[in-house]
Amino acid sequence: QQGHMKLHARSVASSADVPDELFDAVVDELVTSGEIKVWKAAEILEEKRGRSGGQTAAGAAAGKVILLGEHAVVYGKHAVALPIADAVSAEVRSAEQASTVSVPAWNIRDQAVADDASGVGAAVTLILQELGIADSHFAIRLHSSLPRAMGLGSSAAFAVAIVRAFDAELGLGLDNAKINAVAFACEKLAHGTPSGIDNTVATYGEAMLFRRAESLELEKLKLVEPVPLVIACSSQSGLTAEQVAGVRRRRAQSRAQYDAVFEQMDALSLTGAAALARGDYAELGMLMNVCHGLLNAIEVSTPELEAMVSIARSAGAAGAKVTGSGGGGSIVALSPGAVDDVRDALEEAGFLTLGHSKT
């Protein structure tokens, strides 16, 4: 077991680009910490390099995995989502010159915020404005165990983590509602017309039945146990803005058919939330399979995602579907009693998995 953990820690340290001279020390600390994650390796590395001083403040945020209702949720329907706990954390410190952002796990290092009109930098600029601190300069560092553009809510989690880091560093006294509102503004910047589900799960870090019609409706779901999920990434990234715009375009042409699909997804989410809360995975898995068929019908699946879903089901998943915006990105497989089999089958076929849900 110890040997296996060490091997895993070495591979994580290598993904975090830990240099040779610090490699063994970082691997040892990773194993001791019990958090064998790329963001943790990056954090230990920074501590070893003496860059993280007493004046840093950290903020954390959850990633998300949607079990039911993506896309329909953009049109005021219900969706069910689980958090990927503490997937992201942020540190901020004052800077002399210009504001910069680093995401070591994604190979983004000290990028000038002003030079990044569409990505994390743009979100930082908006956050500085929203918090009324746009006249000051900061160096922001993000640690992420979420892959980029894989439908797992990294952009929303980044926004929430950054806002929380500023809140802690500057003593702003922000509550979750305000943090969520600022992160929602960032999501609008990144994705056009988001439902707000990603930033809401990132902020509250709880399983939820979500709906945004006239206002935000949020029902937190109490789970009987951690949900036996396998999340696997396809080889293509999925751009939420593009996928949401594509659905909007096709809906404009086939309004009645698309709205019928969204109505059906709404019903799946309502039934599925109850099944999730009572741990009825057979029912929930069936609902996820139906939801996947509907996501395919609105053209957000791809041949690769179809293959992944099929692999997961053949390996014993009770339900498997696209999660998030699709067009690439990830699948989620509900795999009671079969988590290892499903993960192994997907990995053998060459897909990266995130393993168990950390709810």
Residue found by looking up tokens 């040779």 in the block: 20
CA 331, CA 224: separation in Å to the nearest integer?
Answer: 23
Shortest reach from residue 344's CB to ligand MEV, in Å: 27
Instruction: Name which of 104 and 329 has its Cβ closer to ligand MEV.
Output: 329
Nearest one of 259, 231, 263, 333 to 292, comparing CA atoms: 333
Told to check if 329 binds ligand MEV by CB under 6 A, we report no
Contact 323, 231 (CB under 8 A): yes
Instruction: Name which of 121 and 324 has its Cβ closer to ligand MEV.
Output: 324
Q: For residue 52, what are its two tokens?
A: 């993280």
Exactly one of 20, 135, 167, 198 is catalytic; name it.
198
198 is catalytic: yes
Site stretch for ligand MEV (CB under 6 A), options 175-183, 188-196, 227-235, 272-280: 188-196
Site stretch for ligand MEV (CB under 6 A), options 69-77, 177-185, 228-236, 261-269: 69-77
Binding residues for ligand MEV, total number by CB under 6 A: 15
Contact 23, 13 (CB under 8 A): yes
Name the DSSP class of 220.
E
Neighbours of 352 (CB within 10 A): 14
Distances from the Cα of 5 to the Cαs of 15, 95, 131, 226, in angstroms?
15, 37, 42, 22
Distances from the Cα of 82 to the Cαs of 76, 130, 207, 226, in angstroms?
19, 27, 4, 10
Instruction: Name which of 323 and 335 has its Cβ closer to ligand MEV.
Output: 323
Interface positions, 269-308, toward ligand MEV (CB under 6 A): none
Told to check if 324 binds ligand MEV by CB under 6 A, we report yes
Quick note: the x/- pattern for ligand MEV over 70-109, rule CB under 6 A, is: xx-xx-----------------------------------
Told to check if 197 binds ligand MEV by CB under 6 A, we report yes
Residues labelled as active-site residues: 198
